[in-house]
Structure 1
Amino acid sequence: MRTSKPITVTLGPMQASLEKRLKSGSYDNASEILRSALRALDREEAAIEDHLRTKVAASLADPRKSVPAADVFKRLRAVHGRTMKASKRGT
Protein backbone atom coordinates (compact mmCIF):
# COMPACT_ATOMS: atom_id res chain seq x y z
CA MET A 1 0.00 0.00 0.00
CA ARG A 2 1.28 3.45 -0.92
CA THR A 3 2.23 5.59 2.09
CA SER A 4 2.34 8.84 0.17
CA LYS A 5 -0.17 10.51 -2.06
CA PRO A 6 0.38 12.07 -5.48
CA ILE A 7 0.37 15.86 -5.60
CA THR A 8 0.25 18.42 -8.37
CA VAL A 9 2.88 21.17 -8.31
CA THR A 10 3.01 24.25 -10.50
CA LEU A 11 6.67 25.21 -10.92
CA GLY A 12 6.34 28.14 -13.29
CA PRO A 13 9.80 29.33 -14.39
CA MET A 14 11.42 26.63 -12.22
CA GLN A 15 10.08 23.99 -14.61
CA ALA A 16 13.12 24.62 -16.82
CA SER A 17 15.42 23.74 -13.94
CA LEU A 18 13.55 20.49 -13.37
CA GLU A 19 13.69 19.62 -17.08
CA LYS A 20 17.42 20.34 -17.18
CA ARG A 21 18.04 17.93 -14.33
CA LEU A 22 15.94 15.23 -15.97
CA LYS A 23 17.75 15.64 -19.30
CA SER A 24 21.14 15.43 -17.56
CA GLY A 25 20.29 11.93 -16.36
CA SER A 26 21.05 12.84 -12.75
CA TYR A 27 17.45 12.00 -11.83
CA ASP A 28 15.01 9.48 -13.23
CA ASN A 29 11.85 11.47 -12.58
CA ALA A 30 10.42 14.66 -11.10
CA SER A 31 9.60 12.95 -7.80
CA GLU A 32 13.30 12.21 -7.20
CA ILE A 33 14.14 15.86 -7.84
CA LEU A 34 11.48 17.12 -5.46
CA ARG A 35 12.50 14.65 -2.74
CA SER A 36 16.11 15.77 -3.14
CA ALA A 37 15.05 19.41 -2.96
CA LEU A 38 13.06 18.80 0.22
CA ARG A 39 16.01 16.99 1.82
CA ALA A 40 18.23 19.97 0.94
CA LEU A 41 15.65 22.34 2.44
CA ASP A 42 15.54 20.22 5.61
CA ARG A 43 19.35 20.37 5.86
CA GLU A 44 19.34 24.14 5.31
CA GLU A 45 16.67 24.73 7.96
CA ALA A 46 18.51 22.47 10.42
CA ALA A 47 21.76 24.38 9.81
CA ILE A 48 20.01 27.72 10.37
CA GLU A 49 18.38 26.42 13.55
CA ASP A 50 21.74 25.13 14.82
CA HIS A 51 23.34 28.48 14.06
CA LEU A 52 20.59 30.37 15.89
CA ARG A 53 20.78 28.03 18.89
CA THR A 54 24.55 28.63 19.05
CA LYS A 55 24.05 32.41 18.86
CA VAL A 56 21.38 32.34 21.59
CA ALA A 57 23.53 30.14 23.84
CA ALA A 58 26.50 32.48 23.35
CA SER A 59 24.31 35.47 24.12
CA LEU A 60 22.94 33.88 27.28
CA ALA A 61 26.46 32.97 28.40
CA ASP A 62 27.79 36.50 27.76
CA PRO A 63 28.88 37.90 31.14
CA ARG A 64 28.37 41.51 30.10
CA LYS A 65 25.52 43.48 31.62
CA SER A 66 22.27 43.43 29.63
CA VAL A 67 21.25 46.58 27.78
CA PRO A 68 17.69 47.78 28.46
CA ALA A 69 15.37 47.36 25.47
CA ALA A 70 14.49 51.07 25.51
CA ASP A 71 18.18 51.93 25.00
CA VAL A 72 18.54 49.40 22.19
CA PHE A 73 15.50 50.79 20.35
CA LYS A 74 16.70 54.36 20.87
CA ARG A 75 20.02 53.47 19.22
CA LEU A 76 18.27 51.60 16.42
CA ARG A 77 16.02 54.59 15.69
CA ALA A 78 19.09 56.85 15.57
CA VAL A 79 20.92 54.53 13.17
CA HIS A 80 17.80 54.19 11.02
CA GLY A 81 17.38 57.97 10.95
CA ARG A 82 20.98 58.48 9.82
CA THR A 83 20.59 55.78 7.18
CA MET A 84 17.41 57.36 5.82
CA LYS A 85 19.05 60.82 5.67
CA ALA A 86 22.06 59.37 3.86
CA SER A 87 19.88 57.53 1.34
CA LYS A 88 17.90 60.70 0.62
CA ARG A 89 21.12 62.59 -0.07
CA GLY A 90 22.19 59.85 -2.49
CA THR A 91 19.06 60.12 -4.63
Structure 2
Amino acid sequence: MPDGTIIAGHIVLSIAGRDAGHRYVVLGWYKPQTLLVADGRGRKVTSPKKKNVKHIKKLNSIADNVAEALHGGKIPTDEVIRQALAHIEVTG
Protein backbone atom coordinates (compact mmCIF):
# COMPACT_ATOMS: atom_id res chain seq x y z
CA MET A 1 0.00 0.00 0.00
CA PRO A 2 1.10 3.58 -0.42
CA ASP A 3 2.70 3.94 2.99
CA GLY A 4 5.32 6.56 2.22
CA THR A 5 8.23 4.17 1.78
CA ILE A 6 8.14 4.43 -2.00
CA ILE A 7 7.30 7.81 -3.47
CA ALA A 8 7.33 9.37 -6.92
CA GLY A 9 10.89 9.84 -8.09
CA HIS A 10 12.38 6.81 -6.35
CA ILE A 11 14.65 4.57 -8.40
CA VAL A 12 13.59 0.91 -8.19
CA LEU A 13 14.99 -2.36 -9.48
CA SER A 14 12.73 -5.05 -10.93
CA ILE A 15 13.40 -8.39 -9.23
CA ALA A 16 10.73 -10.51 -10.95
CA GLY A 17 9.36 -10.96 -14.44
CA ARG A 18 10.90 -10.64 -17.88
CA ASP A 19 12.34 -7.28 -16.90
CA ALA A 20 14.23 -8.58 -13.82
CA GLY A 21 17.36 -6.52 -13.24
CA HIS A 22 15.96 -3.46 -15.02
CA ARG A 23 15.93 -0.04 -13.32
CA TYR A 24 12.89 2.24 -13.37
CA VAL A 25 11.77 5.58 -11.93
CA VAL A 26 8.52 5.54 -9.96
CA LEU A 27 5.90 7.87 -11.42
CA GLY A 28 3.22 7.14 -8.83
CA TRP A 29 0.77 4.58 -7.49
CA TYR A 30 -1.84 2.86 -9.66
CA LYS A 31 -3.54 0.71 -7.01
CA PRO A 32 -2.63 -0.08 -3.40
CA GLN A 33 -0.10 -2.77 -4.43
CA THR A 34 0.82 -1.49 -7.90
CA LEU A 35 3.31 1.17 -8.96
CA LEU A 36 3.55 3.04 -12.24
CA VAL A 37 7.16 3.01 -13.45
CA ALA A 38 9.02 4.23 -16.54
CA ASP A 39 12.55 4.07 -17.90
CA GLY A 40 12.25 6.62 -20.71
CA ARG A 41 13.11 4.05 -23.40
CA GLY A 42 10.93 0.94 -23.63
CA ARG A 43 8.51 2.26 -21.04
CA LYS A 44 7.87 5.91 -21.65
CA VAL A 45 6.04 8.39 -19.46
CA THR A 46 3.02 8.23 -21.76
CA SER A 47 2.65 4.46 -21.23
CA PRO A 48 4.18 3.51 -17.87
CA LYS A 49 4.53 -0.09 -16.70
CA LYS A 50 2.34 -1.33 -13.87
CA LYS A 51 4.58 -3.19 -11.43
CA ASN A 52 3.57 -5.05 -8.27
CA VAL A 53 5.34 -3.75 -5.16
CA LYS A 54 6.38 -7.31 -4.30
CA HIS A 55 8.31 -7.50 -7.57
CA ILE A 56 10.55 -4.48 -7.06
CA LYS A 57 13.40 -3.47 -4.78
CA LYS A 58 13.73 0.16 -3.76
CA LEU A 59 17.24 1.51 -4.34
CA ASN A 60 18.64 4.22 -2.10
CA SER A 61 18.35 6.85 -4.82
CA ILE A 62 15.83 9.46 -5.83
CA ALA A 63 15.68 11.20 -9.19
CA ASP A 64 15.31 14.70 -7.74
CA ASN A 65 14.39 16.44 -10.99
CA VAL A 66 11.70 13.83 -11.71
CA ALA A 67 10.34 14.04 -8.16
CA GLU A 68 10.19 17.85 -8.32
CA ALA A 69 8.32 17.75 -11.62
CA LEU A 70 5.81 15.18 -10.38
CA HIS A 71 5.19 16.95 -7.08
CA GLY A 72 4.74 20.21 -8.99
CA GLY A 73 2.01 18.64 -11.10
CA LYS A 74 4.11 18.46 -14.27
CA ILE A 75 4.98 15.43 -16.36
CA PRO A 76 8.73 14.77 -16.63
CA THR A 77 10.16 14.08 -20.07
CA ASP A 78 11.57 10.72 -21.09
CA GLU A 79 14.95 12.40 -21.54
CA VAL A 80 14.99 13.52 -17.89
CA ILE A 81 14.18 9.97 -16.77
CA ARG A 82 16.90 8.49 -19.00
CA GLN A 83 19.46 10.92 -17.60
CA ALA A 84 18.49 10.09 -14.02
CA LEU A 85 18.81 6.36 -14.66
CA ALA A 86 22.12 6.76 -16.52
CA HIS A 87 23.54 8.61 -13.53
CA ILE A 88 22.43 5.83 -11.17
CA GLU A 89 23.91 3.10 -13.38
CA VAL A 90 27.29 4.84 -13.32
CA THR A 91 27.35 5.58 -9.60
CA GLY A 92 25.10 2.88 -8.19
Q: Same fold (TM over 0.5)?
A: no
TM-score, reference length from structure 2 = 0.22
TM-score, reference length from structure 1 = 0.22
- Higher helix share goes to which structure? 1
Greater Rg by CA: 1
- Higher strand share goes to which structure? 2
Q: Which has the higher contact order (CA 8 A, sep 6+)?
A: 2
